[in-house]
Amino acid sequence: MKKSALQQARAAYKPQLPIVLTGGVKVVEGQPTQSADNQEDIQKLFPNTYGLPELRFEKAPAGESAEPINVGVILSGGQAPGGHNVISGLFDGIKNINRKSRLYGFLMGPGGLVDHKYKELTADIIDEYRNTGGFDIIGSGRTKLETKEQFDKGLEILRELNIKALVIIGGDDSNTNAAILAEYYKAIDAGVQVIGVPKTIDGDLKNNVIETSFGFDTATKVYSEVIGNIQRDCNSAKKYWHF
């Protein structure tokens, strides 16, 4: 595909990263966590994963090597600007850990995990989607992960691909999927970490550690710009009515 000058400039943009994420990363465990409310009820629902420690990231010493890691990623629910860059960041991060690390994308949402439909995301693929909107790099879906059969089918392909971490990018339903899946895999000691990434344009994923989600951040800025443009137009073109 031939890219326009604008597309080339967009692809060349490098989002600013915290210093600790620009090279090797060391994870430091902090204090146990708890839910903002209904602690006892939630602990009963998630006895194996409730209260896990807060994780803090620190820059690893130069020259410190790490074992390669295979990671799976799922886009779930409605599309939101920023999803492609979460995947690009995942790719860059695991390659910084070890160049032999591999990233697999499950196709068309959580259903791709259950049905074993996936593709390896290579540098050529990732570079086509950097800084672009949409969820089309691997597609999205709304399959609910709620049965033991689904969990076990997903675990089959995770073990076949030697995937040690599964990242689910989605909204409130999708992160509920992630929480339930993490609880089951922890209960059976599957050896797979499940990470939920908050994505929504609705602004309904927010707590004391999530100031705002991607998607909602873009939506509010776009709407604010449109409203500001209309306001300026009203001031400028006084002979027209605006509805």
Cβ-proximal residues to 120 (8 Å cutoff; 6+ apart), any chain: 102, 103, 104, 105
Neighbours of 224 (CB within 10 A): 10
How do residues 89-109 score in pLDDT, each as one tens digit? 999 999 988 999 999 999 999
Q: Give the span between the Cα atoms of 96 and 101, in whole angstroms.
A: 9
Cβ-proximal residues to 43 (8 Å cutoff; 6+ apart), any chain: 50, 51
pLDDT of residue 1: 67
Q: Domains in the chain, ordered, with CATH?
A: 23-64 (no CATH), 68-236 (3.40.50.450)
Question: pLDDT band at 169, cuts 50/70/90?
Answer: very high
User: Given the structure tokens 């672009």, which residue do they identify?
Assistant: 132
Neighbours of 211 (CB within 10 A): 8
For residue 205, give Cα distances in angstroms to 50, 67, 106, 174, 214.
Answer: 19, 33, 24, 11, 10
How do residues 60-72 score in pLDDT, each as one tens digit? 877 666 899 999 9
What DSSP state is assigned to residue 96? H
pLDDT of residue 64: 67
pLDDT of residue 20: 86
Question: pLDDT band at 181, cuts 50/70/90?
Answer: very high
Q: Give the span between the Cα atoms of 225 and 105, in whole angstroms.
A: 34
Q: Which of 152, 202, 204, 233 is catalytic?
A: 202
Q: Are 73 and 103 in contact (CB under 8 A)?
A: yes
Which two tokens mark 224? Answer: 């604010």
Residue 211 has pLDDT above 90, yes or no: no
pLDDT of residue 210: 84
Cβ-proximal residues to 28 (8 Å cutoff; 6+ apart), any chain: 55, 56, 57, 58
Helix boundaries (H) for the chain: 5-12, 39-45, 83-97, 110-114, 123-129, 148-160, 172-187, 216-236
Residue 202: active-site member: yes
Bridge partners of 103, per DSSP, are 71
pLDDT of residue 190: 97
pLDDT of residue 149: 97
The residue among 1 and 48 whose pLDDT is bigger is 48
